Amino acid sequence: MKTKTLFSIFICCLLSLSSVQAGNWWDKVPLLVYTPRYFGANAFPIPEMLGGKLSSRWEVELRGEYHTMPGDKTKDVFARLYIPIAKGRAGVTVQGVIQEWYETSPEVRDERNAVEVKQPIPCHGDAIFGFHYQALTSEKWMDIIVSANLKTASGGRLCDARYTDAASYWFDCNIGRTLWNNPEKTLSVRAQGMVGFYCWMTNSIQNRQNDALCYGLGLQGTCHNFTLDVDYSGFRGYRGEGDKPMVFRSKLNYEIKKNIVSFRYKHGLQDYLYDTFSLAYIRCF
């Protein structure tokens, strides 16, 4: 009888603890701030610079990433598939974080109104779909790509402010122009820019979505099998709650026989506080 009583008390304590944890999770959801400043490293992707030219090859990419900021260490595995259409006149991109591992300090957890400092279960990211069209190709003037992109609400761990569990979308126009190349076209310098509209859903009753201007400006240099890209990019929301991220990005690619090894570094300048290092393998077909 005594054993049964102790067992019953133990079960009641577990149920009570579970109920309290669930209550804490739901109580904190309205306190989350849906902006890059108060979410994880992959919650709000900043549009990529495409240089004004679409690839005519299939691309499969697998990338390992490490994001670090005071109070947050994040690792993830990222995958991307690019499918060209009509010999490179258009293309479709499917990408996202397959698995993410994170650990935050109690201070960062409390600032974000999150529940846990480390994922108790596997965490995966949002699936992102991009649709691209080569609007203009001109060596004399410039190359132009227009794109429509959708981030789904498939990411996990909203309670830890890792992913928003809400959709977002952006439309952008990428332009590029070759400033110089040598006669053999083994060396070149190219300017690139991007401008567009970025929108994401929030948990605010008064403002159900945040609208932003996205932008980017950069240079690309090629030397034989090496390609170096640098750019300054971001977007500017209108609510002023950590919704104006700015980043400096660099990417070095080395290609040999349709195999590309890519190293990236991204430094957050404002409202995106991470430094990101990544190494990727890309196979082209």
What's CA 139's distance to the chain center, in Å?
Answer: 31
Between 14 and 255, name the one with better pLDDT. Answer: 255
Each residue of 172-195: pLDDT tens digit?
999 999 999 999 889 999 999 999
Q: What fold characterizes domain 24-282?
A: Porin (2.40.160)
Each residue of 158-168: pLDDT tens digit?
999 999 999 99
For residue 95, give every residue at least 6 positions away whose Cβ sits within 8 Å of its Cβ, in sequence order, or none. Answer: 61, 78, 79, 80, 81, 127, 128, 130
Helix, strand, coil share of the chain (percent; to 5): 15, 55, 30
Residue with tokens 């008064």: 206
- pLDDT category at 15 given cuts 50, 70, 90 is very low
What is the per-residue pLDDT for 55? 97
Each residue of 95-133: pLDDT tens digit?
999 999 999 999 999 999 999 999 999 999 999 999 999
Q: Where are the domains of the chain?
A: 24-282
CA distance linking residue 256 with residue 80, whole number of Å: 20
What is the per-residue pLDDT for 16? 39
The helix/strand/coil state of 204 is coil
Average pLDDT of the segment spanning 153-162 = 96
**Strand extents, DSSP E, 105-152:** 127-136, 143-151
Residue type, position 101, single letter: W
